[in-house]
Amino acid sequence: MVSSVTNLGRSGVYDWLIQRVTAYVLALYTIFLLGFALTTDVNYDSWSALFGQTWFRIFSLLALLSLGAHAWVGLWTVTTDYIKATLPRFLVQAACGLAMFVYVAWGVQILWGL
């Protein structure tokens, strides 16, 4: 079994579970947004009203965190499978982790105005 400090779930079963749960969250979020766009006249006022509701901000935050976790597990798997040398793999994983951290922090700032 591959054991690494850079994987999120610390084992293949947990990584698999993280992928599945986050995929469901992202699918629900996408379906909701598509339904909203198809059934509502989307303009600034309706969009602002949607994002002004606390439950939707929490749902968006959950989707944002799910996207980060889903992407990390996927990128960790790909880099572990295809980049065999330790230093280049670590550098790619560090760059991906830093980018995901920045995107999640930026998303939280956009959602909550922090």
Q: Which positions make up the binding site for a ubiquinone?
A: 82
Q: Which residues are annotated as a binding site?
A: 70, 82
Count CB neighbours of 18 within 10 A: 19
Which string of b and e fits 75-107 if b means at least 16 CB within 10 Å? bbbebeeeeeeeeebeebbeebbeebeeebeeb
Residue 34: phi and psi, rounded to 5, are: -65, -45
Instruction: Specify binding-site residues for heme.
Output: 70
What is the residue whose two structure tokens read 């602002």? 48
